Every structure is written in structure tokens, then in C-alpha cells.
Structure 1
Amino acid sequence: MLPAPEACPALVLNADFRPLSYFPLSLWSWQDAIKAVFLDRVSVVAEYDRPIRSPSLTMKLPSVIALKEYVPADRRPAFTRFNVFLRDSFACQYCGDDFVAHDLTFDHVVPRSKGGRTTWRNVVTACSPCNLIKGNRLPHQAHMHPLRMPYEPSAMELQENGRAFPPNYLHESWRDYLYWDTELDPV
């Protein structure tokens, strides 16, 4: 039985054949991928075994597509809760334990009530128990110092961190484009 087209997203590569984004992984729906193919904006690099048909055409759904024009990456990443978690590798910066995103919060190293701002350089990833223990105190008052002081990461650093957290679904045709730095098995 063939998978539904909705179960066949296309991995989107930049013109240099690197994914546009690792985390979240740059995926397009099958409809957007087909539209881009017909508008000649992408090249098909790999295909699913799943064909689609129109009255005048049959084609396989693209599984990997590459943009024909290079899209430069943003130099400064957006300051979002998720990007803070990604910068800190989804680890509480007080206890060091790893968590999934929905079990994390962020902590103002210098609390807002003490003049701290919500910026890259004052916010760290924290688990709820550590955040509650630290509370509205400065690190030296709580005897809790971040394992790594907060800083503004580069877009490239966030991309590299994202590579360490593969998505739940990976089609085999994507692997050559997602893991360029893995050691190859000798033949």
C-alpha cells in the first residue's frame, strides 16, 4: 500500500545542497514541492516511490529538492524561547539535566525585578524545579550559577546544535544531505 501524499514531505536544500534549516528541519508539503518543481524554482534530487497523477501527467513525489537560487542564512538568529533552548542544547543550565522542550522554561540570570532584561545575554534554559529554587534571586544569593553564561549565538551555531536533535521521521533519501560530517563506513 502506498503512503498518502501527506506522509511524503520534501527535504528542502539550499542551492549549495545543505538543508535550509536543521531544527526545525526544512520540509515542504508535497503540494508546495510539486508547485516549486513546475515553477522551475527547484531541482528534484531524490524521489519517493509514490507516484501522483493528473489527467495528462504521472510523476513521483520529490523527497529531496534543491533551490535553484541560493538563500543566505540570517546573520542574527531570532530571540525566541525555542532558540534559547536550542542554544543551551535543551539542558537546564543549573542542574545540567537534559529535557524535552515542553518540560523547560527560561530563567533571567539577573531577575527582571532587579533590572535584568529579557535578552540573549541574560536568559538561560532552566527546568521548572531549578527555576523555582532560584526564584527571584541573583545567582550568588541563590548559590546557583549557570553552567554556561548566556550569550548571543550565531545562526550557524544554532544550525549545528540542531543537527544533534534529529526529527522523529527521516526518509532514507535525506540521510546523505543531513549528516555530511559523519564518518563513512569503509567498503
Structure 2
Amino acid sequence: MMDLQTLVLNADYRPLSYSPLSLWGWRDALVALFSERVTLVATYDLEARSPSRSMPIPSVVALKNYISPVRHPAFTRYNIYLRDRFTCQYCSQYLPSGGLTFDHVMPRSRGGLTTWENVVAACSPCNLRKANRTPPEAGMPLIQRPRRPTRLELHRRQPDFDHHRYHHTWIDYLYWDSELDH
């Protein structure tokens, strides 16, 4: 029970974020319920008890006030890999379970910044081979030019949700943007 998570939905009943998935610890969700910041949507089959009360543990809550999503996702290593489809941008090797690094297209030692537009996913051998050079200098053309993605682009590149990893009460809220079967 200690590690139970609560899926947090925006007021429109969509997850606040998919990458990472918007989750709170169940205790934080209970505090938000008591302070009337969220609506209880679904519960686990467990209860939290105090000497005077018992309350079902929330598995899904929705914010009462809508939060406008940011247009662009956070600049994180995972989001870089997701943008680049877990593929080395120099040799096209697909490495979904590790082995990727990130590379500065214009090396930092030469003034390159750590930004969406200057960082790409790279396998270790390509990163070492390119070293402190630009792609043209190293004879290593990029597969695609790096750019800042939108949240929707990254969401569409997410690996398919493995419904076995999530509580059954979450499933209806994780597939809002999926195409329906005919």
C-alpha cells in the first residue's frame, strides 16, 4: 500500500501529462481531496484508516480547476530520446532499452548550447567518433535536424501503454487520444 500511486487528471479528465505520467502518492491525493482541490474519480479496493475515519484510497482524481498545458515539454534526456525515437541520429541504430547518450551538434567547447535545437540522441560509438567536431567536420550527417517538439508530438511517440502496468481504473483515461477500433 505504501507505493500506491494516484493518476491525476486535469479538469477535462485528461492526464496532466503523459511523459512523465501525472501521478501523485496516495497520501497527497487524500490531502488534495480533503482540501477540496480535486474530485474523486475512482478508488482502489483499500482504505486508509485513522482512529475516527476510514476513506477509500484514490486511484484517480481530477483537478477542480483546469490547468492550461504548456505547449512545449520539459527538456529532459528521456524527451530527447523520445523525440528522436530512441534512435542514434548519426547511424540510425534503434536502442530503446539503453545505450543512448546525447550529443551536442555544435560542441559545447565551441559555444554550443544545451538546447532542443543543439542536442540529439546518439549511440556511444557515434558520440565518441564525432568527438569535438560538428557533423560535417566528422563526416557524420544527421538523420534529422534537432528541434523543439510539441507535447502532442512526444505523446504520439510514446511507446504503447502496457495496460498490465496500470491499475484498471486508469485505463479509460490513458487512451483518450487513441484511435477507436472500427
Same fold? TM cut 0.5: yes
- The 3 A distance-change label for structure 1 pair 66 and 51 is same
1:96 is the counterpart of 2:95: no
What amino acid is the match of 1:126?
A: A
Match among 15, 33, 40 for residue 36 of structure 2? 40
1:157 partner SS: helix
1:141 is the counterpart of 2:141: no
Is the contact between residue 8 and residue 48 of structure 1 (CA under 8 Å) also seen in structure 2?
A: no
Is the contact between residue 77 and residue 154 of structure 1 (CA under 8 Å) also seen in structure 2?
A: yes
What amino acid is the match of 2:73?
A: P
Q: Tell me what 1:12 maps to.
A: 8
Aligned residues: percent identity? 55
Q: Tell me what 1:119 maps to.
A: 115
Structure 1 segment 28-67 matched on structure 2, within 5 A: 28-67=24-63
Per-residue CA deviations over 1:24-58 (Å, capped at 9, x if unaligned) read 11111010011111111111111111122222222
Q: Tell me what 1:164 maps to.
A: 159
Question: How far apart in 2 are the matches of 1:25 and 1:98?
Answer: 23
Is the contact between residue 23 and residue 165 of structure 1 (CA under 8 Å) also seen in structure 2?
A: no
Q: How big is the shift at 1:121?
A: 1.3
Q: Give structure 1 stretches of 5+ with no counterpart.
A: none
2:169 partner SS: helix
Q: How big is the shift at 1:82?
A: 3.1
- The 3 A distance-change label for structure 1 pair 89 and 138 is same
Question: How far apart in 1 are the matches of 2:161 and 2:181?
Answer: 20
Q: Tell me what 1:109 maps to.
A: 105
Q: How big is the shift at 1:102?
A: 5.2
Question: How far apart in 2 are the matches of 1:92 and 1:52?
Answer: 47
What amino acid is the match of 2:146?
A: P
Q: How big is the shift at 1:149?
A: 0.7
1:177 partner SS: helix
Question: How far apart in 2 are the matches of 1:119 and 1:62?
Answer: 38
Give the superposed CA RMSD: 2.3
Question: How far apart in 2 are the matches of 1:73 and 1:55?
Answer: 40
Q: TM-score, normalised by structure 2?
A: 0.86
Q: Give structure 2 stretches of 5+ with no counterpart.
A: none
Q: How big is the shift at 1:92?
A: 1.5
Q: TM-score, normalised by structure 1?
A: 0.84
What amino acid is the match of 1:164?
A: P
What amino acid is the match of 1:128?
A: S
Question: How far apart in 2 are the matches of 1:24 and 1:165?
Answer: 14
Moved more, 163-172 or 144-153: 163-172
